[in-house]
């Protein structure tokens, strides 16, 4: 797991040093993570006012807008911390964009100490994410 993440991290580092457009980088980070780990849905939501708006992603069609404090994404934004959800059915207020998602991780993205978006990843397996994922995904989005 660490080895895979290390490679992804190095690739993102190289990508981000050559391209400064955040949308372009989000698109390639979503593709790289999705392809490497084979998750169900991998993508970004960007803060626009009081709402998270769908950004670059890989996977099935998803909800386009999530309010501050709503769902796992809006909660990660509000709490300003990574949230690991081993079983989405046990997370009150979870927003089911896909009925097949069983577990989820959401990592906030900071710019000048303000949350500007989140990275959201869903798996069809229960308990797919842990603190290793949180550690690496936080490092990866910090490159944006
Ligand atoms: N499950 C998320 C909504 C986004 S989709 O998973 C892509 C949530 O509860 O915020």
What tens digit of pLDDT does each residue of 14-52 get? 999 999 999 999 999 999 999 999 999 999 999 999 999
Nearest atom, ligand 1, residue 97 CA: 5
Asked whether 66 and 49 are in contact (CB, 8 A), the reply is: no
Per-domain residue ranges for the chain?
A: 2-142
Average pLDDT, whole number, for the chain?
96
State which fold the 2-142 domain adopts: Beta-Lactamase (3.30.450)
112: CB partners within 8 A, 6+ apart: none
Distances (CA, A) of 17 to 14, 20, 21, 29, 91: 5, 7, 11, 13, 37
CA of 66 to the centre of ligand 1 (A): 8
- Ligand 1 proximal residues by C-beta, below 6 Å: 41, 62-63, 66, 71-73, 94-95, 97, 101, 104, 120, 122
């Amino acid at each position: 797991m660490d080895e895979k993440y290390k490679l992804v991290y190095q690739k993102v580092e190289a990508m981000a040093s050559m391209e400064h457009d955040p949308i372009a980088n989000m698109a390639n980070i979503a593709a790289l993570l999705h392809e490497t780990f084979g998750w169900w849905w991998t993508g970004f939501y960007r803060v626009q006012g009081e709402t998270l708006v769908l950004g670059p992603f890989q996977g099935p069609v998803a909800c386009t807008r999530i309010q501050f404090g709503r769902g796992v994404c809006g909660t990660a934004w509000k709490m300003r911390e990574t949230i690991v959800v081993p079983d989405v059915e046990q997370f009150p207020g979870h927003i089911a964009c896909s009925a097949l998602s069983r577990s989820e991780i959401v990592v906030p993205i900071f710019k000048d100490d303000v949350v500007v978006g989140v990275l959201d990843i869903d798996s069809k397996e229960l308990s797919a994410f842990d603190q290793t994922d949180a550690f690496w995904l936080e490092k990866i989005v910090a490159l944006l």
